[in-house]
Structure 1
Amino acid sequence: MSTVTLTKESHKTPSSFRVKYKDCKDILGDNEVSKKNINNKLPTLYSASKVAIIGAGFGGIGTAIKTMKELHEEDFTIFDRLDNFGGTWYANTYPGCASDIPALWYSYSFALATNWSKVQPFQYEMEEYILRVAEEFNLRPKTRFQTYIDKCVFDEDSGEWTLYAHDTKSGQKVEHKAKVLVGCTGGLVYPNQLRSEGMEKFKGVYMHSAVWDHSVDFKGKNVVVVGNGCSANQVVPALLNNPQYNVGSITQISKSKHYIMPPVPSFLQWLYRLLSFNYYGLLLVRWLTIALAEARVPLYKGNGLLSRFVRWVNSSISNRYVKKYAPAKYHDLLIPHYKIGCKRLIFDYNYVPSLHDPRIEITNENIKRVVEDGIILTNDKFVPADIIVACTGYNLAKSFKLPISTTKGVSLNKFWDTEGPSAYCTILPKQIPNLFLIGGPNSATGHSSVVMAIENGIDYYLKVAKPVLQGKKKSVVVKTEAYDNWFKTIQEELRKSVFGTPFGGCISWYSNGEVNSTAYAWSQISYWYITHFPNYKDLIYTPAADTKKKA
């Protein structure tokens, strides 16, 4: 275990720690230019490794490092469409973008930073941390950037994966062989674009918060912000208070309500600095943070006395905060009436106090249509707009669309389209051997750090894949009955939870109404247990002696 000390260079030159706008637009924009840029005239490049890792964000980096540290296996290759490490933290660079979970917890347990500038640091500092960790473990030589994965096919006879890909710039095709495939693509990838009538007529600037154009001048402009979730909570105060933007006005389209909690207490940062002298001091503060967060678990499920009490406490804290710091005219627009936790909690980043600024107006009227110089609301009010910013979240269903299949006709996408995205213990899909999903279906929580969940998933992969990587086994796959039992059990449990359910009382990105493929149904203590003590009776290992290739 080690610590990491940041240089804070990212504070001096934030632009050096974010993706170029054109690259981000080509990959994540509607046209997906990079996906289509295939050059059949160039010779195909061939390569191989024991492990292929898709994604160079927290999941991919953590998988690579632990594969080296725990399995002593250095024969791996990381693939990513972007030109640097970071994933979401490299691509999402909107003003105010920051961690909504304390960074001491939203980081690797084996590489704790000694000098975070604040409890919830900005995007560029998070990216600096990620790059620092990747540098420390020398991952760059083992990473193929600017590479789009077109499809992955598992040969059930040879027990080998073939990844078909292409370079996003030159279009040159790549074929890569691997024994084990680890998907670390994440869920917050493809932006949900604003699809209001008349968008094509708008003569101003439109952008989604996930694909931010930093060349746009916001000073003195009339801005419409669509959405009021986590991204909008950070974008709005930044546009109002940062001298770099200093907008003329903001009209925020608030289509739904969220429980907004007070900012993370400054006491946590004080304690962190007091105990940052060594790894174990940092670990103590991390575990204290985890314990406080886990105490919130009862609010997410059931209607017993404890659950109702924890919900009441947290709802009261949120409501008191909003009533104290937001203008009275906005209380009805901000305070929800569904059960807390039905939508993801927001820990305020100065959004609520900023609503006193006379330049902002919130409305719960939807957009009726977009016109050349603004929008028309459903009450027929005209709102002038020079810039429209969509803080409308992500297309999780598209993020789950992984081009994975086997030579015997099993397609992950077809299977998920039929039954809904899922994976045994959130990691092993059905009927596809030697495939591990880190941060996969049902691995997210409403109260915890996704990085902690990622590490738990990686530890499961290490244990289960070890015999395959050592050559003792040809392949491993979850038993069909074990997968089906997992799927049934977790979906039944989630229906009793608040995550976007009738019980919770709201519509949420956690669930599509039929299958909840996003949220984990229990505590992170439970997740740690199932990932660190695999039930090997639920798995099928094929002996290595069966690796006979067809002539």
Structure 2
Amino acid sequence: MADLSRPPVWRYLQEAGFGNAALQLARCWIRDPDTLPFATHIEPHALIRLVQDGLCFDQLQADACHTEPRYRFGRDHGRPFSARNGNLLTLDKGIPAHQLAAEANGALPDPPPKKTLKRKKGKTTNGVELRPEPEVNGDAMDIEHNGTTHVTNSVRAESETIPSEAESPTVAEIPISTLSIGNNAGFQTEVISIADLAPQTVFIPRHLDPGKVVEHTSWGPIDAPVLLAAGRSLLQVHVVSRQTTPEQTPTIRTGDMLLPVNNFDVTALCWHSDDELTVSVREQCFNEVGEKMMMDKLIKLTEGGQVSHIISSTAGLINTLRWNPDRNLLLSISTDGEKGSIKVWKNESDSIPAWTDFTDTAIFDAHWITDSAFVVCGIKLFKVYEVGESLTTQRTLDTSVTWETVKYDPTSGIIAVLGIEDQKGYLGILHPNDSISLQTHELPDDYPTDLDFRIRTSTNTLTNGSSVPSVLLVTCSMLGTVRAWDVNEPFKCVKLLTTSENTQALKIAFSPDGSLLAAAGPDAVTIWDIERRDVPVASWHAREWPSDKWNPSTEGEFSLGWDPDSSRLSIALGNQIAIIPVPRYLGCACDVPSHSYQYTFQPNPNWSSLYAPAPEIQSYLQDVAEKYSATRFIKLRHEIQACHWNDKTAKWHITVKNLATGETLQDQADVLISGRGNLNTPSWPEIDGIETFKGAKMHSATWDQSYDFENKRIGVIGSGSSSIQIVPSLQRLPGTQVSTFVRSKTWISPPFGQQLWDKYGFQTSAIPRELRDRFANDPDYYHKFRLSVEEDGNGIHAVTMKGTELQKGAKDMFHEHMREKLKSKPEIFEALLPSFSPGCRRLTPGPGYLEALTQPNVSFITSPIARMSESAIHTVDGRTHEIDALVCATGFKSSAPPPFPLTGSNGLPLTRKWENRAVTYLSHSVAGFPNLFTMLGPNAAIGSGSLTTMIETVGDYIIKAIRKIQKENIASMVVKEERERDFIEYVDAYFEGTVFADECRSWYKNKGTGEVVGLWPGSTLHCVETMRSPRWEDFEYIYVDELEGTDESRLKGVGKNTNRLAWLGNGWTVKQQEEKDLAWYLYPEFVNKPVAPLPEENEEFKIRPFSY
């Protein structure tokens, strides 16, 4: 091994699974690796022993502390291939990692993983086929012997690796390919949260010249928000247009800055103004006799980089440049690895600096702290200098730490430094009230990498009840840990965060407006709004892009930066640059108690609010998917373009587009599950001239991530739940003037779950930290709390029925609530107050909405919109409302067919089937569309109660249907048209006695005719009981052997019209073949004991009646 500290070795160790050693060597790589005594020559076997010793120590430490090991070395880590690209990973001698490890231990290497499984051929007894052992089929529904079911998404690229024996799913019955398509993972809000930043990423085209490598990136000042990229033979400026709509393709303009040098490396840079900057370069050139030499030059560029001036040709190897705008001074820091040089330049025409000083140890960073003072740090070095008539040392602080990075907070005057010594990380704080003592604290996280300040003018209360200090400092580590520190009380950690999937955090930075925090590494970017919640609000993952777009294994310096207006951030590695738009979440949250907005089997005790924000809900869903390994079967960024049922083969044929690569794939499945829900196709208002509007235009479901609403005139159309969340959020932004156009009257209810506020004494919707801690530590207490939430929701179903006391009481309560909130604007109260019963339109609790309508920067407009022009909305009353941006919070096309062609039996399109009305059987099956199931389809939502319970219930029903298909050799299963008609007849009869039959505009109803197509005809509990026992006689079946053109050989000896009880097999069970669990029916968990002396008194039957 020539040099352990070089990036290829580090990457190799990461790929081979040697996390601990990789991290240690990474730290060694950062600073002057050639000076390390062990970094020049080492034998491969010694490397392996070093790695194994580190892992062994980690295991011993975990055992002693009763914790999990931080690093693992399992069978996967020893494989001689890369998890990223499949290439062989070898040391210089070409020996795979697992072989080296085996030789070092004197052990034999493990055999390579098997690619296929050999099965014994089953026998046929009495014409009934003996079922083989479970087959390996990656695209299958796996029903294990314990009843666990896995659904795989059969959209698989041909290049994907076949799972190994240990990883492959099995099929206990007939292999069934099941494809689930959807816009969500089972939850829906009317304003779509956008937490995945990948889809809108813009990649700067790579340099074809391998000699040009990006080593530094820097965004220009706010007057010139351009991205500067500098490095090896490279100094370019990139201008990337902002996207006014998600569908718009941004333009990229790139220009070279003119430098009077060739074959150079940019070592540092800093901006002076929007068109002036200074760079330091090291130029490789040759003298008169042909000898290679290096010249270090300091160059100022003006007029946007088109004019350059060499300040000095003997500036030294500069690693840091800092500009002082108050006195027009330029500070440069140089080091040769052993000593440091400090220069201050005050005149660009001078070839020598105005002031110079030298240090006995290397200097790594510097920062101006006043207009006449700056601080420098380095190896056991921390000094403050004063620039007056001369350059003097203001103070030198004793330290034994190597400080690598320094940051300064101008509001408080606090200086923070990050350092490392003996592989331990340290944080140093210098307070202005104690300017002679550098308070040093050992960090609890290994391998700290970066730090940043966020300036706050006052203490702010968070949604979880805690507070952010006036001055906040954050640190990050290579292990993905992010800590927020209150530097007014040094070393008090106020927040502990982790990056998405615990990915590396090499850089960390607050957005310039201080609202968001980003931590990033080559593999991922994680963003938090730490004032509101501890979970990330957005993330970006490299794995969602092909390697020709972003390859995290590329060598080079990694950098992170924010656009000056905080709307975009950039990451760069090697010759790769990605610009990522960052969304602003405007109030999107659930409007029912969060503890009812979760799966029954996965309680979350850590909801920060009774009405959790969308990013928190998305984080919960992602955690659930990862915990139960559902991510194995999910294909993100794949767009369904068409689905067609083939009657001859009894297969669904699906056309899929990979949005990351642009490739179109063809796939097929036995069962198709639509998880699109019924609120996903935006409904745009039909307004004359809307297409001529030249300002920003967006729908609440297709939010423009990059648009800055501050200091804008905004028109909001709509008064539904989306508008009610958006209007108060826009009203609170600086400088906004909001015009809300309200066509429909509506009830604005108090927050759902108000009784919980009263019972637990909540002052706000935030759940106090002490209560969340009790939820987490006392499962029984939290379970009782959840029961209370669910029972309250299920106990108000009578509010949806006409004439009930609960309905009358709700109407009186809502009336008083609205009147009180709008007492300063009674005209708005009269304009909003409806004549229909509460619930006819979706009940909309709107914390802050009614209050926002009374504010001076909100105009409440009820006059109908006549037309739109290039810059305004014109209403029927003759008024013109000038706006800069238009927000259409006008809901969705409820129960609509998907936007892609979906064709059923005999070529019937779903659009024709649902032309006049969307009809189903029990909300999940459609006559004429075999083996198709819908989740949250027509008549699937709920007027009161838990929607997530409905989703789980329908999911269980679908699983039962798939098991029947598998077990009984069914090729096609489709609901009878008569039963579909029966269900719709029942739906219409039920809703006649409900408030939903009142005259009102609602997405619940079929446009034009008024039938209720969005809601389940009953309560949540009614739906649960309905779905518990399927009526299989309501379906028609075609069996595999009845298909036209069935190949006899494919039936393995089973003839047509064979015994429908062939599933009985040969009289044996799989457990007998495996010779285990031969008396499972005596296991306590499977014994259903009757109650003595009267079995019918079983409490279970009283709670949940026995059904079929």
Match of 2:652 in 1: 161
Residues 1:476 and 2:982 are matched in the alignment = no
Comparing 350-359 with 525-534, greater Cα deviation is found at 350-359
CA contact (8 A) 1:54 1:183 kept: no
Deviates more, 1:104-113 or 1:506-515: 506-515
1:226-246 Cα shifts (integer Å, max 9, x gaps): 1111011111111122xxx32
Give the match for residue 151 of structure 1: 642
Structure with higher helix content? 1
Rounded to whole Å, the distance in 2 between the matches of 1:302 and 1:323 is 23
- The one of 1011, 1016, 1040 equivalent to 1:515 is 1011
- Partner of residue 236, structure 1: 727
Structure 1 residue 284 displacement after superposition:
3.1
Segments of structure 2 that go 5 or more residues without pairing to the other structure are: 1-137, 142-150, 156-168, 196-583, 761-766, 1048-1108
Bigger Cα displacement from structure 2, 73-82 vs 230-239: 73-82
Aligned to 1:323, what secondary structure does the other structure show? helix
**Residue 260 of structure 1, aligned match among 748, 758, 761:** 748
Q: Cα distance 1:537–1:470, how it changes in 2: closer, same or farther (>3 A)?
A: closer
1:484–1:343 CA distance, 2 compared to 1 (3 A): same
Residue 548 of structure 1 deviates from its aligned partner by 5.9
Tell me the CA shift for residue 347 of structure 1.
Answer: 1.4
Paired position in structure 2 for 1:32:
none
Tell me how large the CA RMSD over aligned residues is.
Answer: 3.1
**Aligned equivalent of 1:204:** 695
- Structure 1: distance between partners of 2:780 and 2:981: 41
- Residues 54 and 279 of structure 1, relative CA distance in 2, 3 Å threshold: farther
Question: Does 1:101 find its partner at 2:592?
Answer: yes
Aligned partners of 1:514 and 1:262: how far apart in 2?
27
The aligned residue for residue 297 of structure 1 is 797
Task: Give, in angstroms, the shift of residue 442 of structure 1.
Answer: 0.0
Does residue 376 of structure 1 match 2:874? yes
Q: Does 1:188 align with 2:688?
A: no
Match of 1:319 among 803, 815, 833: 815
**Structure 2: which amino acid aligns with 1:121?**
A
Shift of 1:345: 0.3
Please say if residues 720 and 889 of structure 2, whose CA atoms lie closer than 8 Å, have aligned partners that are also in contact: yes
* Cα 1:215/1:362, change in 2 over 3 Å: same
| Alpha-carbon distance between aligned partners in 2 of 1:286 and 1:371, rounded to the nearest angstrom | 51
1:43 matched residue in structure 2: none
Q: Which runs of 5+ in 1 are unaligned?
A: 1-46, 56-67
Q: Which residue of 1 aligns with 2:127?
A: none
Distance in 2 of aligned mates of 1:246 and 1:74: 56
Q: Is the 8 A contact 2:182 2:677 kept in 1?
A: no
**What pairs up with 1:207-356 in 2 under 5 angstroms?**
207-241=698-732, 245-263=733-751, 264-265=753-754, 266=757, 267=759, 269=767, 274-277=774-777, 279-303=779-803, 307=804, 309-326=805-822, 327=824, 328-356=826-854
Residue 983 of structure 2, aligned match among 486, 493, 502:
486
- Do the aligned residues in 2 keep the contact of 1:81 with 1:145 (CA within 8 Å)? no
C-alpha distance in structure 1 between counterparts of 2:897 and 2:596, whole Å: 25
Equivalent residue for 1:448, pick from 940, 945, 948 = 945
The alpha-carbon deviation at position 78 of structure 1 amounts to 4.6
User: Is contact 1:465–1:476 with CA below 8 Å preserved after alignment?
Assistant: no
Shift in alpha-carbon separation, 1:74–1:274, aligned structure 2, 3 A = farther
Task: Give identity over the alignment, percent.
Answer: 23
Distance change in 2, residues 1:278/1:188 (3 Å): farther
Bigger shift: 528-537 or 87-96?
87-96
Q: How does 1:70-109 map onto structure 2 within 5 Å? A: 78-79=180-181, 89-91=192-194, 94-109=585-600
Flag the 1:162–1:203 CA change in 2: closer, same or farther, 3 A. Answer: closer
Equivalent of 1:415 in 905, 913, 918 = 913
Q: Secondary structure at the match of 1:396?
A: coil
Matched residue of 2:697: which SS? strand
Instruction: Tell me, yes or no, if structure 1 residue 463 matches structure 2 residue 951.
Output: no
Contact 1:187 1:400 in 2 (8 A): no
Q: Secondary structure at the match of 1:152?
A: strand
Partner of 2:907, secondary structure, is coil
Distance 2:647 2:811 in 1: 52
Q: Is the 8 A contact 2:183 2:677 kept in 1?
A: no
Q: What whole-Å deviation, never above 9, does each CA across 1:192-213 have from its counterpart, x for those lacking one? A: 2233222233232221111112
Moved more, 280-289 or 357-366: 280-289
Deviation, 1:412, is 2.6
Amino acid at match of 1:354: A
Helix, strand or coil for the counterpart of 2:642?
Answer: strand
User: Structure 2: how far apart are the matches of 1:132 and 1:252?
Assistant: 37
Question: Secondary structure of 1:443's partner?
Answer: coil
Output the CA distance in 2 between the equivalents of 1:352 and 1:193.
Answer: 25
Instruction: Tell me, yes or no, if the aligned pair for 2:186 and 2:948 is still in contact at 8 Å.
Output: no
Shift, 1:278, TM fit? 5.1
Shift of 1:120: 0.6
SS of the residue corresponding to residue 362 of structure 1 reads strand
Aligned residues: 481
Distance 1:315 1:188 in 2: 27
What CA distance in whole angstroms lies between the structure 1 residues aligned with 2:1028 and 2:806?
Answer: 29
Q: Displacement of 1:549 after TM fit?
A: 4.3
Q: CA deviation at 1:77?
A: 5.1
Change (3 A) 1:411 1:193: closer
Contact 1:272 1:282 in 2 (8 A): no
Quote how far apart the aligned CAs of 1:550 are: 4.8
* CA gap 1:284/1:533 in 2 versus in 1, 3 angstroms: farther
Deviations 1:286-317 (CA, angstroms, capped at 9, x unpaired):
332222222322232344xxx2x211111111
Q: For residue 17 of structure 1, what is the aligned residue in structure 2? A: none
Q: Is the 8 A contact 1:223 1:387 kept in 2?
A: yes
Q: Write the distance in 2 (CA, Å) between the matches of 1:81 and 1:301.
A: 32
Aligned mate of 2:610, from 113, 119, 133: 119
Structure 2 match to 1:7: none
Deviation (angstroms), 1:508: 1.6
- Using the TM superposition, give the Cα deviation of residue 251 of structure 1 relative to its aligned residue in structure 2, in angstroms: 1.3
Query: CA–CA distance in 2 between the matches of 1:411 and 1:382?
Result: 44
Letter in structure 2 aligned against 1:387 = A
Change (3 A) 1:417 1:280: farther
Q: 1:540 aligns with which of 1036, 1046, 1067?
A: 1036
281-290 vs 330-339, which moves further: 281-290
How many angstroms apart in 2 are the aligned matches of 1:81 and 1:189? Answer: 7
> Aligned residue for 1:58?
none
Q: Which has the larger radius of gyration?
A: 2
Which shifted more, 185-194 or 114-123?
185-194
Q: Which moved more, 1:280-289 or 1:383-392?
A: 280-289
Instruction: Classify 1:169/1:131 alpha carbon distance in 2 versus 1 (closer, same or farther; 3 Å).
Output: same
The one-character-per-residue Cα deviations of 1:351-401 (angstroms, maximum 9, x if unpaired) are: 122233211121211211222332221101122211111111112254556
1:172 has 2:663 as partner: yes
Instruction: After superposition, give the CA deviation of every residue in 1:296-346 in whole Å (9 maximum; x if it has no partner).
Output: 22232344xxx2x21111111111111112232321022211111110001
Q: Deviations over 1:4-43 (max 9, x none)?
A: xxxxxxxxxxxxxxxxxxxxxxxxxxxxxxxxxxxxxxxx
Q: Is the 8 A contact 1:368 1:376 kept in 2?
A: yes
Aligned to 1:10: none
Distance 1:404 1:275, change over 3 A: same
Name whichever of 207-216 and 148-157 sits farther off: 148-157
Paired with 1:541 and 1:300, the residues of 2 have a C-alpha distance of 38
Which amino acid is 1:392 matched to? T
Which sits farther off after the overlay, 509-518 or 422-431? Answer: 509-518
- What displacement does 1:253 show? 0.6
Check conservation: 2:152, 2:633, Cα contact below 8 A.
no
Select the structure that is richer in strand.
2
Q: Which amino acid in structure 1 is aligned with residue 749 of structure 2?
A: M
TM, length-normalised to structure 1 = 0.80
SS of alignment partner, residue 744 of structure 2: coil
